Structures are given as structure tokens and as C-alpha cells.
Structure 1
């Protein structure tokens, strides 16, 4: 092969490698930076914005979900197509991560979850680590976030639970998008809806009952929900009120 041909071949291969690396390695970090401000990127364990129907983790940690059901991409809260996910509990639809070791021991320290939800029915599951019955009434797995029949927000973790009553509990708030944040710090539990603290409960045990095994069980998203979820973020730190206000005011992550 002539020197000129070798030179051209080297340029082509280098270009392909460059673009290939950008698509596989750089894109998640680029999307995280596009969607979250610098302070909101701190402590992110997994980030699921469902951008263009993707169920990948865009935190850069590669904690990608799988979909073995008929759950599908749908419009987000701003009407952007394929930038949220739709679930139907009658069809047993959900997303999952098998054996999520990246969640191990989070329940023993500071832990926060931020998400957007729209429920079409009374009583719905949102996400959980495991789905076996826990020692809290209504609890599943190691921890779970769900809506009770009157659409009160339920958060159970580590043998403790908290129920967040919306500012107007008489309104079922069906078919409406709402922002939800739950935090846990050594069983000091808080629930925020639409940027407002609606429940704060410190170290109140659920009482007797089966104790779920720790650090086991798959991650389930949307199981028992008929409705939509979007912009799910798992943190290994406590979110502050300023963080939560900022998250509530962010536009949907949709490129």
C-alpha cells in the first residue's frame, strides 16, 4: 500500500473511532449536563428522562433499564412526543433493572428520588426496589413509592413509612402531571409535591410484619401504575428545598 493510501486510511479510521466514542461514551454525560444544572448533577445515581423513547440511564453510570412488557413511550408534560413513558396496570406493564447492585445500601444513608407522574386511576405504584410485601401496610420490597386509593403519596423504606397528604386531599388529581420528591436520611422521611413539603416524619416504625431482605430485589418502574412517568432521578444524597424548587421548575428533558 502506498504512503498516501495509508495516510487516507488512517484518517478515515480515526474519524470513525472519534464519532463512535462520542456516540457511546460522551452522549449520556452531554444529556445530563443539558438537562440538569451543575448542583443538581451532584449525587445522581441514575437518571431516566426517557428522551426520544430511550430507557437508558443518562447519568453516565450505565444503569440502563429493560422493557419486557408493552409499556411504551408517550408525550411528556409539555406535549413533547416520545419523551415520557406510559404504563397500563391491566397489562402488567413496567420497566425494570435486574439485580440493581447500584442501589445497595442506599436505604442506610441519605437517599432521594425525584420524578414526574400522571395517574389515571386511584391507587397506583410508581417505583420500588423489589416487589414482595414489606412489613409496612402497602409497602413492597426494600422500599417503594406509590399512591394510595385517594392519591395520597406513600413512601416506605427500611421498615418505616410516611404518607403525604396533598394540600387539597378532596381532589383526586387524576390525569394531571405532578412533581414528586421523597427523601430519607436515617429514617427521617419527607415528601414534597410540586415543590412543597407536605409530610415530614422522623423514625416512626411500621410495627410488626415480615421484614424485607436488604440489597435484594429488582428495580421496578411503573409497576401497578396506569398513567405516565418522566424524568426519574435517584440520588445518594438529601435534596434541599432549593434543589427541589429548581427541579420542579425545570423543563422536561427532551432533545
Structure 2
């Protein structure tokens, strides 16, 4: 009887250590997707590997899909490594009560993503989805595209509009890299590694200011197109870091 008990205990210990090792290996694989220097300050990371909508930063800020949004090919043709949205079907990904975003704007933060828009004007990401402050603003902050597909970032009562290098060309059905950095009053927008807007103290008070630290996280709402490799940082990225992000291959395994 003692022998059986000891054997069972040994098997249990081996299983526990085996699970722990597996978790460690998965975490290493997730971190290896970004170079070491680009891992600093990551609070959420959505590369959509194998169609997963989990946060691969290790912070467990996992998304939910209550719509018909679906995995699709990424910018390098990898299957199930990006996400497709159709605004006509009200498709989006979401995270309820994202407390990890509370107060993030006070210390400065950055958002990096790849997008492909199929129509003029689109939503990309927002904290909350109630309409307020600036015309076109949604929630506490939001990143979107205007009718001419210029990237626009709203936060509280501030707005920044990124005029693309070729403003007369509506860039549809093309993959583009987009980064915004914000310390509330100084907003910067980078497209394909290039700084296309740097606005400080650009205030618009055309509507009510949304409450801070409230609202769910919405990704892909009001977009007909694709998104990939979304990263939220709690730091202000530098030009060097943004250039490195732009030159990375898709995080797809």
C-alpha cells in the first residue's frame, strides 16, 4: 500500500513540474516574438497566432469575440494570423472592464498595429464606444481613419489628424503600420515608420468629455478590413523603436 502511495505521489510531482515547464516554454515563445528591446512597457499584445485572440504579453488581458469576426491571412500570406472585420455585420473584438488601461494616459502610452481598410473611414480601436468630445471622437480615446483614410487619434478633448504622405490617394486594401504616442497633450502619429503628425495642445470641445477609466476595449469596431500585431505600451515609443516595429516580420507561428 505504501509503495502504491509513493508511486502515485511521484507521478503527481512529475505532472506538476511538467505543466510548469510547459507554461514556461509557452511564455518564452510568446516573448521571443518581439525583440528584447521592444518588450519593455508592453501591457497587451495581440499577434493573433493561429487565430488566437489571447494577450501574449503574459498579462492575461485576453479578448473575447461575441461576433462573427474571424481569423484571416496576414500581410505575409500566413493563414489564421490576422483578424478580419465587417462593419456591416457589426464585427469586433472586445475586453470588458480593462482595468489595465486605467490611468495609462497620465504617464504616456503608445499603440502599434497593422491595418488594412477596405472602405473609406473606419474605426480601429477605442476605450469605450460612446460618442463625445471632438467630432468623430469615441469613448475616452480612440484610433480611427477618416473618410480619406487619414489616421486620427482622439483622447479626452484632444485630437490629432495624421495627413498621409500622399493625401490625394485613398489607401484602400493595403497593409499599413500605424503607431500613436500620447502623453495627453502631445499626440504623435506614425504611418509606415514615418512621423506624419505631431500636435501639442490641439483642443476641440465640441461635445461632452467622456469619463476617465471607464468603458470596454473595442478592437475593429466600425472597420471593414483586417488588423494584426496590436501592441499597447505604457511608455512613449521612440522613432528608433517605431522603425524597428515597422520592419518586423509578422508574429505568426
Partners of 1:132 and 1:184 lie apart in 2 by 21
Structure 1 residues 185 and 80: alpha-carbon distance in aligned structure 2, compared to 1, 3 A threshold: same
What RMSD over aligned residues (CA atoms) do the two structures have, in Å?
1.4
Q: Determine the structure 1 residue equivalent to 2:14.
A: 15
Q: For residue 187 of structure 2, give the secondary structure of its aligned residue in structure 1.
A: strand
Map of 1:199 onto structure 2: 197
Please give the secondary structure, in 2, of the residue aligned with 1:245.
helix
In 2, Cα distance between the equivalents of 1:17 and 1:177?
44
Shift of 1:132: 0.6
Partner of 2:47: 49
Aligned to 1:97: 95
Give the superposition deviation at 1:76: 0.7
Equivalent runs, 1:68-79 vs 2, <5 Å: 68-79=66-77
Q: 2:213 is matched with which residue?
A: 215
Change (3 A) 1:167 1:28: farther
Q: Deviations over 1:112-138 (max 9, x none)?
A: 000000111111000000001121110
**Aligned pairs (5 A) from 1:113-128:** 113-128=111-126
Unpaired stretches in structure 2, ≥5 consecutive residues:
none
Contact 1:28 1:58 in 2 (8 A): no
| Cα deviation code 1:217-240 (max 9, x no counterpart) | 000000000000001000000000
Aligned to 2:249: 251
Aligned partners of 2:145, 2:202: CA distance in 1, in Å?
19
Match of 1:167 in 2: 165
Shift of 1:27: 5.4
TM-aligned CA deviation for residue 38 of structure 1: 1.2
The match for 1:32 is: 30
Deviation for aligned residue 1:6: 4.0
Q: Structure 2 vs 1, CA of residues 22 and 68 (structure 1 numbering), >3 Å: closer, same or farther?
A: farther
Residue aligned with 1:155, SS: strand
Whole-Å separation in 2 of the counterparts to 1:11 and 1:240: 51
Structural mapping, 1:101-112, within 5 Å: 101-112=99-110
**Separation in structure 1 between the aligned mates of residue 21 and residue 60 of structure 2, nearest angstrom:** 15
Aligned residues: 253
Query: 4+ runs of 1 displaced by more than 4 Å?
Result: none
Which SS does the other structure have where 1:183 is aligned?
A: strand
On the 8 A contact 2:135/2:206 being kept in 1, the answer is: no
Pick from 178, 181, 185 the counterpart of residue 180 of structure 1: 178
State whether residues 31 and 57 of structure 2, in contact with CA within 8 Å, keep that contact through their aligned partners in structure 1.
no
Segments of structure 1 that go 5 or more residues without pairing to the other structure are none
**CA shift digits 1:56-105 (9 cap, x unpaired):** 00111111000100001111111111111100000000000001111001
Corresponding residue SS for 2:223:
coil
